[in-house]
Amino acid sequence: MGYVALLLGLLLAVMTFAWMNRRSTEVEQLKAERARLEELLEECVLVRGDLESMLSELNRQSEELVKKLERQAQMERRSRTENAQSVAVEKIPTITPAKAAPLVIPERYRGVSQMLDKGFEAKEIAEDLQIGVGEIQLLLNLKNRVIREKTPVN
């Protein structure tokens, strides 16, 4: 029976050693795995910084492109407007001012001008020629306008 106890003790010692050795190997594997994860985390931080830098650069380039396109569109609109204006100017016929038709005064109003020149009042002329005072005043205004248009401005 002594041998059995010795054999059981020896078996127990070997199993304990194997368990501890296995436990030590697991701890070493966990430490190695942790170190690998920390390296990956550091690499992720670096990649994140690079990605943020690239995104910032892409945003800057995008804004520059938008500004450039807006300037080109504005220049294109301006060019189209100028072209349309020049085409419109070419299509509009040159208008020459019409010559004024000679003033023809009806017979019943011819004496009005002479009487005005002699100093008669509009009411007196209206009674004498049997014309309304308003018509006399209209003729007087037209006469003054014609005189103004013929008189050169210095």
For residue 135, pLDDT over 60 is answered with yes
Q: Residue 41: CA atoms inside 13 Å, Cβ hemisphere, count?
A: 6
Tell me the per-residue pLDDT of 73-116, one tens digit each, with 9 for 90 and over. 999 988 888 888 777 777 766 656 666 666 677 777 778 888 88
Q: Is 102 left (phi over 0), alpha (psi -120 to 50) or beta?
A: beta
Tell me the per-residue pLDDT of 44-64, one tens digit each, with 9 for 90 and over. 999 999 999 999 999 999 999
Torsion of CA 23, 28, 33, 35, to 10 degrees: 150
Which pTM was predicted? 0.38
Tell me the per-residue pLDDT of 4-16, one tens digit each, with 9 for 90 and over. 777 777 778 888 8
Per DSSP, 121 falls in state -
Single-letter code of the amino acid located at 138: L
Cα–Cα distance measured from residue 29 to residue 36, given in angstroms and rounded to the nearest whole number = 10
